[in-house]
Amino acid sequence: MSSNKWGLLWPMLLTFILTLVTAWFKYPVDHLPPGFGVFPPVQIGTTPGFNLIYFIVIAIGAIAVTLFLLFPTLFGFQKPATSPSSSGSRKLPWWFFLGFVVMIFFWWLMWSNSFIFGKLVYYAFTPMWWGFILAVDGIVYYRNNGRSILSTRPALMIISAVFSVFGWSYFEYFDYFVLSNWYYPNGHMSELSHMTIVIIFLAAYSTVWPAVFEWYTLLNSFSGLAQRYTNGPKLQLNGTWLLLAGSIISIAVVWLPYPMFWGIWIGPMAIICGQLLRLNIWNPLTDIANGNWSPAILIALASMANGFFWEMWNYGSSHPVPVEPTNPNYWIYDIPYVNVLHFFSEMPLLGYFGYLPFGLFVWIMYIWAGKLFGFRTDLTL
């Protein structure tokens, strides 16, 4: 193995080693957190309830992030020069209509909990999402004068879908160490075999990365938004310090899973991103050194925008509570201290801000894999 490949591989291995070694000492009997390896993850024990002080601290951070995104000039950003808005001169492509019809049909099927098509209702989640992805790609195609991931970068669509299966499985692994911040109450339903459920889950995982990337290209089609964060404060990130901080956070997540639950979105990302910076490999945080925050912020916003659809469709699939469960992919959050203020969503209000670092990590992981296996990782159309 070349030194360049090893330089990419060892930080990822480190994220696993740190969690497993810490768990060895944290859990002296089994040396692993309770429920580890049960797939899909299940609820673990009793999670601490609402804590006002913790809630206020997290809320202050969320308010600060919101102000930063809405009023960037207050944080040192210069107003971008005005430019004409992007507009499409093409018609919506055929796959937009195909995707829209597929999305609407499986959306109805999933929310209706109907067996009119037999057991097809159990499988509705993934085709609904792929229909949505095709529809969003069609809108991007229209707005970008015929340029979209599907029309100009089909390999990106395919590779991101394949990698997405491994990528989300990586987060499921970390979910065990925070004692199931999310779990799947229908994940062991008797109506389906365990192997069938595993296949359903892996198929669903294939939609995560393509969906976030589609949102990113859609947001980039709005020139005002794309330029809004291009001329800001210059922040030089030190890869070594980032890697060290990520290692400390990753250890703390396992040792203190309740107060440090948020660290699963920060610690591993800091380790991988820190090493990319050390190797001078471009990632969304690289351009911040030149004052261009746009790639980092837009991929974060892409994840949050997609998150609203994730949560809306998830919630509607089991509310009102059906006579019998029909969506094996349905998830519930068991987040300590801040699991309040739910609006047509299992996700608590403050939890949506976790989608911001998740979006960054989605792209950073993809860049890491691309450099390791030799495929293109930019999102340029």
The two structure tokens encoding residue 276: 């990319």
What is the arithmetic mean of pLDDT over 204-233? Answer: 96
Q: Hunting for tokens 């990698």 — which residue is that?
A: 163
Q: Is the pLDDT of residue 84 over 60?
A: no
Residue 193 pairs in a beta bridge with none
- Given a cut of 90, is residue 140 above it in pLDDT? yes
Distance CA 161, CA 207 (A): 6
Single-letter residue type at 42: V
Whether the CB-CB separation of 149 and 217 falls below 8 Å is answered with yes
**Tokens standing for residue 317:** 């699939």
Task: Give the mean model confidence (pLDDT) for residues 46-56.
Answer: 95
Average pLDDT on 160-182 reads 97
Residue 166: pLDDT band by 50, 70, 90 thresholds? very high
- Identify whether the C-beta of residue 317 lies closer than 8 Å to the C-beta of residue 110: yes
Q: How far apart are CA 183 and CA 126, in angstroms?
A: 18
Residues 369-374 have a mean pLDDT of 96
Q: What average pLDDT does the segment 222-236 reach?
A: 94
pLDDT at 81: 75
Closest CA to 175 of 220, 146, 205: 205
- The residue behind tokens 């792929």 is 130
Whether the ω angle into residue 80 lies within 30 degrees of 0, i.e. cis, is: no
pLDDT for residue 66 is more than 70: yes
Residue keyed to tokens 């993934």: 126
Q: What sign does the dihedral 93-94-97-102 (CA atoms) show?
A: negative
* pLDDT for 63: 97
Please tell me whether residue 182 adopts helix, strand or coil conformation.
Answer: strand
Mean confidence (pLDDT) of the chain: 95
Q: Pull the structure tokens for residue 39.
A: 């797939």
Question: pLDDT-based confidence at 88, cuts 50/70/90?
Answer: low
What pLDDT was estimated at residue 96?
98
Q: Express each pLDDT in 305-359 by its tens digit.
A: 999 999 999 999 998 888 889 999 999 999 999 999 999 999 999 999 999 999 9
Q: What is the mean pLDDT of residues 251-272?
A: 97
3-state SS class at 85: coil
Q: Which residue has the tokens 């998150």?
A: 307
Instruction: Tally helices (H) and strands (E) across the chain.
Output: 13, 2
Q: Taking residues 104-127, report their average pLDDT.
A: 97
Residue 83 pLDDT grade (very low, low, confident, very high; cuts 50, 70, 90) = low
| Contacts of residue 116, Cβ cutoff 8 Å, sequence gap at least 6 | none
Q: Taking the CA of residue 235 as centre, how many other CA atoms within 13 Å lie in the half-sphere pointing to its CB?
A: 15
Q: Quick one: average pLDDT of 230-246?
A: 96
Q: Are 147 and 381 in contact (CB under 8 A)?
A: yes
Q: Is the peptide bond before 33 cis (omega within 30 degrees of 0)?
A: no
What is the percent of the chain with per-residue pLDDT over 70, rounded to a whole number? 98
